[in-house]
Structure 1
């Protein structure tokens, strides 16, 4: 069995926790995409970098990926969760709220 691709590893290294304040401007610019918790944030970013439009379209059509909504933004602004993770895949910023682990 082989490990993750070099691209996956590079994206994983560029993925980090982030505060909502740092994401607000990307939301305002319309470049913030919300990734559902069921998906692997790094796999989604890898699909973008690999130009896998079919897979990206499937996620969008299923509602697992899409522009961050006003209600999500309001919720994140109010709660300022420490469980937001993001990665930049220009021109997009992908964000995912992960469940807390104890």
Structure 2
């Protein structure tokens, strides 16, 4: 598991909202709330850890982008995200604004 976490940390990157729009349209972007570690979520997805994923979904810590989020992100071209690709999904977490 440590090797997978290390592999995922190497592909963890930042993304601009505009880069994510085509993937949102394909319905593959998953929003991760600030209280979860993006690498922990990525490892759970990669290992098909449905118990953890379902728990996070039930606590609304993981979800598809909400309409109000999409509206806010479409209106702010400076917004950036931490992004992690775990096929077929792109996990994103909004970065704190400066």
Instruction: Calculate the TM-score normalised by the size of structure 1.
Output: 0.88
The answer to whether the 8 A contact 2:30-2:62 is kept is yes
Spell out the pairing of 1:77-88 with structure 2 (5 A cutoff). Answer: 77-88=74-85
Any runs of at least 4 consecutive aligned residues in structure 1 with deviations exceeding 2 A, and if so which? 80-83, 98-101
Structure 2, gaps ≥5 residues long = none
Of 52, 64, 75, the residue aligned with 2:61 is 64
How many residue pairs get aligned? The number is: 98
Instruction: Check the 8 A contact 1:39/1:64 in 2, yes or no.
Output: yes
Contact map agreement 2:11 2:84 (CA 8 A) in 1: yes
**What is the CA deviation profile of residues 65-96 of structure 1, one whole-angstrom value per residue up to 9, with x for unaligned ones?**
01111221221121134441111111111110
Specify which of 7, 12, 16 is matched with residue 15 of structure 1: 12
18, 28, 40: which is aligned to 1:43? 40
- Structure 2 distance, partners of 1:16, 1:7, is 16
Q: TM-score, normalised by structure 2?
A: 0.91
Structure 1 runs not aligned, ≥5 long: none
Name the SS for the 1:25 alignment partner. Answer: helix
RMSD: 1.6
For residues 2-49 of structure 1, give each alpha carbon's deviation from its aligned partner in whole angstroms, at most 9, with x where no partner exists.
Answer: xx8111111111110100011001111111100000000011011000
